[in-house]
Amino acid sequence: MSPENELMSWLRDAHAMEMQAIQILDNQARRIESYPDLRRRILEHLEETRAQADQLERCIERLGTTTSPLKDSAAAFIGTMQALSGLFVGDEVVKGALASYTFEHLEIASYRSLIAAAEEVGDRETARVCSDILRQEEAMAGWLERHLPEVTREYLRRERAGESAKR
């Protein structure tokens, strides 16, 4: 496969990844009740993620093709199932924050690779878009890194006090 075709394939994968992230973030935000700072930041990142998916779609269309409905649907389904899996664990908010932190790092690695691929084939616009998205993903990962101890402590305090701690 040519480098240009590889870039296109990876952009379609990234779009599917963002569709999965939309499902995960949307479900998390709807379920979080007792952690207002976490909920607020998830809602902010949900809006960023929707915009990211749109930006990627425009890059894909500019390069002469379309997103992959099959990849997008599969990713959205996986995102929904991942979010629903929290219904069955008592420490849903902590596990969700851990999963989000992990997912952010997958996205960071993906965008660094996409930037390199776009630069290699001379696609400055895609490199710019991916660089902008990368900064947003790094910001979200940094926020989670700084706030994960706080979320964990709040969960444990609520649990110890007999309050609703799950979400």
Name the pTM for this structure.
Answer: 0.88
Res. 31 pLDDT band, cuts 50 70 90 = confident
Q: Which DSSP symbol is given to 89? A: -
Mean of pLDDT values over 8-16: 94
Query: CB under 8 Å to 22, separation ≥6 — which residues?
Result: 46, 49, 50, 53, 76, 79
- CA angle 122/6/127 to nearest 5° reads 35
pLDDT in the model for residue 135? 98
Which domains does the chain carry?
A: 3-160 (1.20.1260.10)
State pLDDT tens for residues 36-75: 999 999 999 999 999 999 999 999 999 988 876 655 555 5
pLDDT in the model for residue 67? 74
State pLDDT tens for residues 144-156: 999 999 999 999 9
pLDDT in the model for residue 59? 96
pLDDT in the model for residue 165? 56
Sign of torsion over alpha carbons 137, 138, 143, 145: positive
- The tokens for 140 are 């979200």
Q: Give the chain's count of helices (H) and strands (E).
A: 5, 0
H runs (alpha helix) in 32-123: 36-62, 69-84, 92-121
Render 121-160 in DSSP notation, one character per residue. Answer: HT-HHHHHHHHHHHHHHHHHHHHHHHHHHHHHHHHHHHHH
State pLDDT tens for residues 88-136: 456 889 999 999 999 999 999 999 999 999 999 999 999 999 999 999 9
